[in-house]
Amino acid sequence: MAVLVTGGRGFIGYYTCLELISKGYEVIVFDNLSQRNNLPSIDGVEFVQGDVLDNDKLISLVKRAGQGVIHLAADSRVLPSIGSTKAAFNSLRVNIDGTINLLKLILELNPSIPFVYAGSSTAYGDSNMPQAENTAINPQTPYATGKYCGEMILRSFQQTFNFNSVVLRYFQVYGVGQPSQGAYALVTGIFLDQLEQGLPLTIEGDGLQSRDFVHVKDVARANVLALQLNDKSDNIPINIGTGITTSILDLAHLYSKNLEFKPARRLDLPGTQADISRAKTILNWNPTIYLQEGVKNLIERHI
């Protein structure tokens, strides 16, 4: 009786596995290692390399996942999905077909287990803040569309077949071990990398665009609480953020005053801010690490 974590060798997956182990769960990680990082392996976690589109490897793991599945495996960032039409279709294939494949196997082999899906706040698109779960959906990139499609597929199966699932819509997740280079880099990681190299921090646009930055340890805790949730009947997703929005300019000033401005990024959202009322009420979850403390810890660990 184990918990299967797809994408468990990724950034959020690593901390989710640590949280599961601390709660006494047996953990199996399934990951294709497409997103390299420097996070160490975790003692007591079984690792199987493979892709969520690979039925042969998944079948035996789903059979063993008696305590549930946390589905984090994804083409997990906006930028790769807008690089080309080829990249866009790959993002859709991984995020939609991978979710369908996993859902199909669970329904065939282990239909009663809980299922936690990593949704995305990008589903809200350019919308007024704060964004609540009933805010109109307006995905503006292939990545956002694919993640939201996965969410809707699960919701329809929950309504039609009483499938046991919870969708968490993550806002801007950051923390030690976050991607800092390449297409999957996070702005909090990019700034850290530039600071380490003694370079000016690059800000795209005027820096007034803002994000709700939520620490990865808080996200991991939300994942496990969602796995343990008994009443999943209302089919409504749950925002995981802090309820606080911070401009990229103010974020940069937590690292350095040495800034360099560049042209605005295409399709960059003006702002995100989570309404976390549902997370507080349903999951009994509150953020515990706020941005100033989180960035201070990042810098102390790396500089």
Neighbours of 191 (CB within 10 A): 25
In the chain the domains, ranked by start, together with CATH numbers, are 3-173+215-241+274-288 (3.40.50.720)
Model pLDDT, residue 108? 96
The per-residue pLDDT for range 99-158, each reduced to its tens digit, is: 999 999 999 999 999 999 999 999 999 999 999 999 999 999 999 999 999 999 999 999
Model pLDDT, residue 182? 63
Model pLDDT, residue 39? 87
Model pLDDT, residue 183? 57
Model pLDDT, residue 234? 75
Model pLDDT, residue 283? 95
Model pLDDT, residue 97? 95
Model pLDDT, residue 265? 82
Model pLDDT, residue 46? 97
The per-residue pLDDT for range 264-280, each reduced to its tens digit, is: 887 788 999 999 999 99
Model pLDDT, residue 131? 98
Model pLDDT, residue 184? 57
Among candidate residues 115, 117, 223, the one with its CA nearest the CA of residue 162: 115
List the chain residues with pLDDT less than 70.
77, 79-80, 182-184, 232-233, 303
